[in-house]
Amino acid sequence: MTVLDDIIAGVREDLEARRLSQAEIEDAARAAAPARDAWAALGGGQPDAGLKVIAEIKRSSPSKGELAGIVDPAALAEQYVSGGASVISVLTEQRRFKGSLADLDAVRARVDVPLLRKDFTVDEYQIWEARAHGADLILLIAAALDDAQLKDFSDLTHELGMNVLLETHTLEEIERAAAVEARIIGVNVRNLKTLDVDRGVFGGLASAIPAGAIAVAESGVRGVEDAVHYASQGAQALLVGEALVTTEDPRRLLQDFREAGTRAMPARRG
């Protein structure tokens, strides 16, 4: 069993423990305020938008263990917003990442930027649940889903007014993302089997991301030099967690990522 398989098994158990009736979760999703436009927030359709940052609230990870206590996720989110984060990512997986839907609720009540519900989506219920808790963007991991699920989950997400960050690791997964017309495509440079990070993976795959889609570099951003590296290789946005939750001044570091990364970006693709 891979690390991903193990995480998903736990996600399914936890989902069944909290699952409401389908009617209840759909009613809650429809009662939520309209979703914010994460596509636009990440520079979609805007020439020279500069490097965007998806700033993550992340207490723990399978590769590093505990990273930060984060007693007040909403206060951290406010620091991210003051540093210019375009989107806040809130981990809601509880076993390996120590997140929760309560974190998502707290952050939603405090900030107005789009929110990514960062979890392992393996059931349509989770998409309704994300919308009910105020998410504007969800993560779909190509390695965890078959082609039919990618299409069905993407279609439902868009029907609910949200956007999808479709995470890929290989050229074949980017092709699958393109087949469902994904508009925000992430390349995660962390190997899901070994948890090793290879920052060179992004540059080898970024050119395969369809023109017009937003290219997001995921994992491996330790400092400004990594932001510059990814931006120079075609990243239009970074997803950053560990570096921000372990620094004393996340607002300043986030600003540095944006400013240095924007200077390193090649001409914007159409």
Q: Tens of pLDDT along 137-190?
A: 999 999 999 999 999 999 999 999 999 999 999 999 999 999 999 999 999 999
Q: Is 152 helix (H, G, I), strand (E, B) or coil?
A: helix
Please provide the average confidence, as pLDDT, over all residues in the chain.
95
Q: What average pLDDT does this structure show over 20-49?
A: 95
Q: Tens of pLDDT along 245-258?
A: 999 999 999 999 99
Cα distance between residue 209 and residue 201, in whole Å: 13
| Domains, in order of start, for the chain | 3-264 (3.20.20.70)
Other CB atoms within 10 A of residue 96 CB: 18
Q: Tens of pLDDT along 44-69?
A: 978 789 999 999 999 999 888 999 99
The whole-model pTM stands at 0.96
DSSP secondary-structure letter at 203? H
Strand (E) or helix (H) holding 90:
strand 87-91
Cα distance between residue 25 and residue 269, in whole Å: 39
CA distances from 8 to 43, 86, 119, 143, 144 (A): 31, 28, 10, 11, 8
Phi and psi at residue 66, to the nearest 5°: -70, 130
Q: Tens of pLDDT along 208-248?
A: 999 999 999 999 999 999 999 999 999 999 999 999 999 99
Structure tokens at 101: 């839907």
* pLDDT given for residue 270 in this prediction: 43
* pLDDT given for residue 268 in this prediction: 56
* pLDDT given for residue 269 in this prediction: 46
* pLDDT given for residue 72 in this prediction: 98
Q: Which residues pair with 197 in a beta bridge?
A: 190
Q: Tens of pLDDT along 69-111?
A: 999 999 999 999 999 999 999 999 999 999 999 999 999 999 9
* pLDDT given for residue 110 in this prediction: 97
**Residues written for the chain:** 270
Residue 3: pLDDT band by 50, 70, 90 thresholds? confident
Phi and psi at residue 42, to the nearest 5°: -90, 10
Residues 6+ positions from 142 with CB-CB distance below 8 Å: 150, 166, 167, 168, 169, 173, 176, 177
